[in-house]
Chains A and B, each alone.
Chain A
């Protein structure tokens, strides 16, 4: 079978599901069937790209020129397949979970919810497969717009305020990205993503390089939650929990860090980054974000908000790994994209299950719930351990590589940051586990049992996956091999 069209189909399949979802708004079961079907097809399509991605082949499909000399290109390189695999794979889990959550929570406007979700996934896969910056921007802005209805889903005052904040941040980011792309285009005459960068042979002054980099960073940094651009993320927790789980722990925010790696590795390239000291800017921002976000997580009593701040911190792990400009560090970053995804989605799933089942949102109310919801809390414990970097959960693996990357570059401070942040992670997760297991629950817990299997099965599966990937990072999808080959392509361009 011809592989060239597969990236396009992978993008379009969930978009094609949108009219079907809208048309079956009166038949919820049929509507959810379309979502699941699209999810499975999308995942299988991406999976067919895996063998060639592992061999380092790039499947490129040029649709048409969208501006003179700037075609709309879908390019399934290893990194793109890597990201698409995570996003589409976890979408399937989230879809099942959404059914349990949305029905259990008696949410309104579920059709709009599932339709927007499908558009979000199309945009995310589009971002993964974007072959040049302009294509990237188009899908990036699509993602912004498609996420908006999900953020304001509740249509409460809080939700609408969160929506405004979200749009303000992301639209501004989009504009900065456009400016950065425009300047890059006028300097280099191309916007293609090329491993090792496109600035080689371009006259760049120090100010110019820093300006372009800051513009880029403003563009992708908002979605990546780099401080001080992060504050939309905790507010966006007003969205239904599956949205927080997939979009605000995986698809949207990872699009941001994916963008950071595209910019650093495929636009600037490690050499230009080092030449102008751009990685130092990145490192300082990421280092501060890791520590400050972990500290802020302590202060949150609302479980989802605590998870949000934890996400902000962990996103900056990835950015920090990129800023090290060492191959091992980058491997750690890329691994953390996938591993943080499985862990954090588990935690959000748990938070949602607790909310639907016990109507509890705040950590101070969680006393004794492990008796009622043993499976959920077991999964929660696994996810927390992983994020704190305790083996055998996968978070340990990526953190190990991040730390080795720092040492390889002869840097001690990033290692200290990682260790301190690991301790802080323990500090803000374990009180939750302690409450759930060792404190006595109130009388309101009586009569409650575990949440619906629609929620428990997905959340437990992602927890099990986190352990399996921790034991063997190359299991099923060869995440480790992919990360190695991506990192090597950036540091040793042809």
Chain B
């Protein structure tokens, strides 16, 4: 039965294509785009199939590599949560890569082969991180994805290598902290398998290494997730990277890290143990709350669309971490749903900014004007949809993750965090409506409203419009039918809910 092999098949697909693309690319460079699509397409198909299979049977698949059972061997754990995240990241990557066709010709014409090869490795890393059931193996995949993202971010503007280097330094520190934490835990428990370790932790929880390990791992992964105040690397990296790289890394990368954080806090340690020695969830919640406000305020201050989106990501990742820190069912639902919602919204917004860079040569908000609504009617409609969803107005997807997160804060009586969620929505409205005003309304400073009849429709081509349209419609559908997703999320709850 192939269904039970899916956890292994997804990373294997990416390895295969990471080799295939350079080989074929040497012969015919144009084919690299098609191959990358085929790769992510197969991975998306497999993850959709696996997810469907899992919903039907309701059984977690534990795949032992080489037949070696843990704790000796390495296993992949394909449970509902992992299957969901894998589906989300592969589908988003597939859509973003479709969009990359035109941009790659303009932004890095000579480096297409390298770009697509590395993006396969990046996806290998992300999928591996999500699927693995082994803490050290997770570190390996973390490094694969990190190294690939340094390379992808380096492909970009003049300043991109500089911001990639900074990310490399900070990211490596983060990775090392995580590894150190894993080492501490290993010395105490003698295992690296997550399920195994979860069973042993209650006996050793008072040990000082355990608590140090927890802090080290949270900080290490927090760097990757750009959790405030560890976000310093993110804004520049996303801004100066090529449009398609930021569209690929921004919606997925920090989400995977947030997912790892969720696994560590709620699954490895669990609701009961994580606060045993120090009020970790409260601290996480506080940082998430500050990060949400800080990111939103910084986003308002930006005049460059990509940089604004980057700061907005810092804020939005705060929502997910806030949901985790609540450690209750509604918070969990909000966090997991927001991983999907935010991936869709942020990918769409970065694709719009990429399209603008391609068509207009810049994505400076100050230069946006109301000719755009005639030149790019559909792109602007997609942008507006994503923006309204970011603000969190029903019935779009963004409203519902906010709704569940709000219910979660109410359940914990965390009134401050509730206020943070609500205030942040308003701040979101400020930085998005500012742009919507610019692209839809006449410049009020202008002497007279001029209806320029010479402006022609200059809409982006199909390969760029298609992914944006899918995501925009997806936002509406996920919003209206969120209950079906939430019902699946119910089955993913960690023990203790």
Query: For residue B442, which residue of chain A has the nearest CB?
Result: A155
Complex CA–CA separation, A337 to B418 (angstroms): 34
Q: Taking the complex as formed, is B186 at the interface, i.e. its CB lies under 8 A from any CB of chain A?
A: no
With known contacts A67-B483, A67-B486, A156-B444, A171–B410 Cβ distance under 8 A: no
* The one of B407, B445, B490 that contacts A185, using a Cβ cutoff of 8 Å: B407
Q: How many residues of A contact B (CB 8 A)?
A: 33
Residues B407 and A186 in contact, CB atoms below 8 Å apart: yes
Name the prevailing secondary structure of the A interface residues: helix
Binds B, one of A54-62, A134-142, A444-452, A460-468: A134-142
Residues B426 and A175 in contact, CB atoms below 8 Å apart: yes
Query: For residue B428, which residue of chain A has the nearest CB?
Result: A171
With known contacts A155-B444, A167-B429, A183-B410, A160–B437 Cβ distance under 8 A: yes
With known contacts A152-B441, A157-B445, A171-B391, A68–B407 Cβ distance under 8 A: no
Q: Taking the complex as formed, is A182 at the interface, i.e. its CB lies under 8 A from any CB of chain B?
A: yes
Interface residues of B in 404-433 (CB under 8 A from A): 404, 406-407, 410-411, 418, 422, 425-426, 429, 433
Complex CA–CA separation, A97 to B422 (angstroms): 39
With known contacts A68-B487, A155-B449, A138–B394 Cβ distance under 8 A: yes
Residues A172 and B426 in contact, CB atoms below 8 Å apart: yes
Residues A141 and B400 in contact, CB atoms below 8 Å apart: no
With known contacts A155-B444, A171-B426, A179–B482 Cβ distance under 8 A: no
Residues B411 and A186 in contact, CB atoms below 8 Å apart: yes
Residues A174 and B480 in contact, CB atoms below 8 Å apart: no
Q: Which of A144, A172, A174, A175 has the most CB of B within 10 A?
A: A175
A178 / chain B contacts, CB cutoff of 8 Å: 402-403, 406, 422
How close is B81's CB to chain A, nearest CB, in angstroms? 18
A152 / chain B contacts, CB cutoff of 8 Å: 441
Q: Taking the complex as formed, is B395 at the interface, i.e. its CB lies under 8 A from any CB of chain A?
A: yes
Query: For residue B437, which residue of chain A has the nearest CB?
Result: A160
A167 / chain B contacts, CB cutoff of 8 Å: 429, 433
With known contacts A66-B483, A68-B483, A160-B441, A182–B394 Cβ distance under 8 A: no
Query: For residue B329, which residue of chain A has the nearest CB?
Result: A68
Query: For residue B407, which residue of chain A has the nearest CB?
Result: A182
Q: Taking the complex as formed, is B393 at the interface, i.e. its CB lies under 8 A from any CB of chain A?
A: yes
Chain A 377-393 interface mask (CB, 8 Å, partner B; 1/0): 00000000000000000
Q: Taking the complex as formed, is B327 at the interface, i.e. its CB lies under 8 A from any CB of chain A?
A: no
Q: Taking the complex as formed, is B82 at the interface, i.e. its CB lies under 8 A from any CB of chain A?
A: no
How close is A369's CB to chain B, nearest CB, in angstroms? 30
Complex CA–CA separation, A64 to B486 (angstroms): 14
How close is A56's CB to chain B, nearest CB, in angstroms? 31
Residues A67 and B482 in contact, CB atoms below 8 Å apart: yes
Q: Taking the complex as formed, is A65 at the interface, i.e. its CB lies under 8 A from any CB of chain B?
A: yes
Interface residues of B in 144-164 (CB under 8 A from A): none
Residues A179 and B393 in contact, CB atoms below 8 Å apart: no
Complex CA–CA separation, A120 to B429 (angstroms): 20
A176 / chain B contacts, CB cutoff of 8 Å: 422
Q: Taking the complex as formed, is B227 at the interface, i.e. its CB lies under 8 A from any CB of chain A?
A: no
* The one of A64, A108, A164, A174 that contacts B483, using a Cβ cutoff of 8 Å: A64
Query: For residue B486, which residue of chain A has the nearest CB?
Result: A68
Residues A175 and B422 in contact, CB atoms below 8 Å apart: yes
B425 / chain A contacts, CB cutoff of 8 Å: 171, 175
Interface residues of B in 369-401 (CB under 8 A from A): 388, 391, 393-395, 399-400
Name the prevailing secondary structure of the B interface residues: helix
Query: For residue B391, which residue of chain A has the nearest CB?
Result: A171
Query: For residue B409, which residue of chain A has the nearest CB?
Result: A182
B437 / chain A contacts, CB cutoff of 8 Å: 160, 163
Chain B 75-95 interface mask (CB, 8 Å, partner A; 1/0): 000000000000000000000
B: interface residue count bin: 20 to 34
Residues A138 and B444 in contact, CB atoms below 8 Å apart: no
A64 / chain B contacts, CB cutoff of 8 Å: 481, 483
* The one of B394, B441, B444 that contacts A141, using a Cβ cutoff of 8 Å: B394
Residues A155 and B441 in contact, CB atoms below 8 Å apart: yes
Complex CA–CA separation, A420 to B388 (angstroms): 45
B418 / chain A contacts, CB cutoff of 8 Å: 179, 182
Query: For residue A156, which residue of chain B has the nearest CB?
Result: B444
Query: For residue A211, which residue of chain B has the nearest CB?
Result: B415
* The one of A68, A145, A155 that contacts B393, using a Cβ cutoff of 8 Å: A145
Interface residues of A in 61-115 (CB under 8 A from B): 64-68, 108
Query: For residue A172, which residue of chain B has the nearest CB?
Result: B426
Residues A141 and B426 in contact, CB atoms below 8 Å apart: no
Complex CA–CA separation, A175 to B398 (angstroms): 13
Interface residues of B in 437-480 (CB under 8 A from A): 437, 441-442, 444-445, 449, 451, 480
Query: For residue A69, which residue of chain B has the nearest CB?
Result: B483
Q: Which of A108, A157, A159, A179 has the most CB of B within 10 A?
A: A179
A159 / chain B contacts, CB cutoff of 8 Å: 444
Complex CA–CA separation, A406 to B258 (angstroms): 58
Complex CA–CA separation, A341 to B184 (angstroms): 72
Complex CA–CA separation, A67 to B422 (angstroms): 19
Query: For residue A187, which residue of chain B has the nearest CB?
Result: B410
Complex CA–CA separation, A216 to B470 (angstroms): 37
A141 / chain B contacts, CB cutoff of 8 Å: 393-394, 399
B391 / chain A contacts, CB cutoff of 8 Å: 171
Complex CA–CA separation, A145 to B411 (angstroms): 30
Complex CA–CA separation, A182 to B486 (angstroms): 17
* The one of A160, A163, A182 that contacts B403, using a Cβ cutoff of 8 Å: A182
Residues B403 and A67 in contact, CB atoms below 8 Å apart: yes
Chain A 183-194 interface mask (CB, 8 Å, partner B; 1/0): 101100000000
How close is A176's CB to chain B, nearest CB, in angstroms? 8
Interface residues of A in 144-159 (CB under 8 A from B): 144-145, 152, 155-157, 159
How close is B492's CB to chain A, nearest CB, in angstroms? 14
Complex CA–CA separation, A65 to B490 (angstroms): 15
With known contacts A67-B400, A68-B487, A145-B393, A182–B410 Cβ distance under 8 A: yes
Complex CA–CA separation, A155 to B451 (angstroms): 13
B400 / chain A contacts, CB cutoff of 8 Å: 66-67
Complex CA–CA separation, A185 to B410 (angstroms): 10
A174 / chain B contacts, CB cutoff of 8 Å: 393
A172 / chain B contacts, CB cutoff of 8 Å: 426
How close is A218's CB to chain B, nearest CB, in angstroms? 11
B449 / chain A contacts, CB cutoff of 8 Å: 108, 155
With known contacts A155-B449, A175-B425, A179-B422, A66–B410 Cβ distance under 8 A: no
How close is B384's CB to chain A, nearest CB, in angstroms? 10
B394 / chain A contacts, CB cutoff of 8 Å: 137-138, 141-142
Interface residues of A in 120-146 (CB under 8 A from B): 137-138, 141-142, 144-145
How close is B464's CB to chain A, nearest CB, in angstroms? 24
B433 / chain A contacts, CB cutoff of 8 Å: 164, 167
B407 / chain A contacts, CB cutoff of 8 Å: 182, 185-186
Residues B444 and A160 in contact, CB atoms below 8 Å apart: yes
* The one of B399, B429, B451 that contacts A171, using a Cβ cutoff of 8 Å: B429
B399 / chain A contacts, CB cutoff of 8 Å: 141
How close is B488's CB to chain A, nearest CB, in angstroms? 12
Chain B 7-19 interface mask (CB, 8 Å, partner A; 1/0): 0000000000000
Residues A65 and B426 in contact, CB atoms below 8 Å apart: no
20 contacts between A and B (CB under 8 A): A64-B481, A65-B483, A66-B395, A67-B403, A108-B449, A137-B394, A141-B393, A141-B399, A155-B442, A156-B444, A160-B437, A164-B433, A171-B426, A175-B422, A176-B422, A179-B406, A179-B422, A182-B410, A186-B407, A186-B410
Give me the interface of A with B, judged by CB distance under 8 Å: 64-68, 108, 137-138, 141-142, 144-145, 152, 155-157, 159-160, 163-164, 167-168, 171-172, 174-176, 178-179, 182-183, 185-186
Given contacts A67-B404, A142-B395, A175-B422, 13 further A-B contacts (CB under 8 A): A64-B483, A67-B482, A68-B483, A137-B394, A141-B394, A144-B393, A156-B444, A159-B444, A160-B437, A178-B403, A179-B410, A182-B406, A182-B407
The 9 closest A-B CB pairs, nearest first, are A157-B444, A138-B394, A175-B422, A155-B442, A65-B483, A182-B406, A186-B410, A141-B393, A182-B410
